[in-house]
Amino acid sequence: MSETVAFIGLGLMGRPMALHLVKAGHTVRVYNRTAAKARSLAEAGATVCATPAEAAQGARVVCTCVGDSPDVREVILGANGVACTAAPGTLIVDHSTIAPSAAQEIERELRARGFRFLDAPLSGGEKGAIEGTLAIMCGGSSEDFEAARPVLSAYGRNLVLVGGPGMGQVAKACNQVLVVNCILGVAEALVLAQKLGADPHKVWSAVKDGAGRSWSLEVLGPKMLADDDSAGFFVKHQQKDVRILLDAARQAGAALPGTALIHQLYRAVQVRGGDECGNQTLYRAIQILSGGEWRPK
């Protein structure tokens, strides 16, 4: 079923997601703070708008994919935000990663103004967005989840309604705990192979299908071995996500010692100028601790 969809935020993941909507036959209206990033969407048939408010005009579903809680509030509830022009009953789907409590606050404000809302953070990175295979974890009502399904299915493969408002963000926090701890395990294993004199490429081949197999080993391991620091997901975004989940864990009384350590290890990458490198550069922090040195190219 074709919908008129507004898509706001055309970063590494947002741009291919919006393109999938166009290819699926939806009428797509897009906005991005850096207008040049919308050019490929215009060429594909999307309508490029000057503000989030303009993009939301006439849209039945509005998707946002921006940086942090203040950005979400600005594009939805700000002076030129979605809520200025969207019709009552419009379904707003936020794909950003923000605190569960922030998602719940935004949901309450939007419901009070007659809108519907899903928090629907993503996993799968740029690769998953390009391939249309993202995991999308949602918080909200079952009715809103089903209403969003035709849109989400354009770029998502695994769509799960986790629970009520904010529960999509809880699932994303858990996802990021798994992600960063898996990346750390891959980084430590490959540095250990090098330090003990083995060919790390052969070690990778030997273990990739064993009990230690993971997406991080399969996809990010080869990037580490190739000294490829390019981003499928930026270090600065990974750190933002980890900060959010550590804050939530602290408030809930949950101990996350491994994840707290990883947050500090990524600082070694950041202070060397690695904010816009890929999150696999946690490997560089382990190399540095093992006597090496690194600066992004």
Catalytic positions, written as ranges:
172
Residue 41 sits at the vertex; the CA angle it makes with 39 and 45, to the nearest 5 degrees, is: 120
For 137-172, letters b (16+ CB in 10 Å) and e give bbbbbeebbebbeebbebbbeebebbeebbbbbbbb
Task: Compute the distance between CA of residue 217 and CA of residue 221 in angstroms, rounded to an integer.
Answer: 5
Going by C-alpha positions, the residue among 111, 103, 105, 49 that lies closest to residue 80 is 49
How many residues are listed for the chain in this entry? 297
Residue 78, CA atoms < 13 Å, CB-side half-sphere:
13
What residues are paired with 50 via a beta bridge? none
- Are 69 and 99 in contact by the 8 Å Cβ rule? The answer is yes
- Are 273 and 296 in contact by the 8 Å Cβ rule? The answer is yes
* Longest distance between any two alpha carbons in the chain, whole Å: 64
Task: Compute the distance between CA of residue 214 and CA of residue 182 in angstroms, rounded to an integer.
Answer: 7
Task: Compute the distance between CA of residue 99 and CA of residue 150 in angstroms, rounded to an integer.
Answer: 26
Task: Compute the distance between CA of residue 131 and CA of residue 62 in angstroms, rounded to an integer.
Answer: 21
Task: Compute the distance between CA of residue 189 and CA of residue 290 in angstroms, rounded to an integer.
Answer: 12
Angle of helix 257-270 relative to helix 235-252, nearest 10 degrees?
Answer: 150
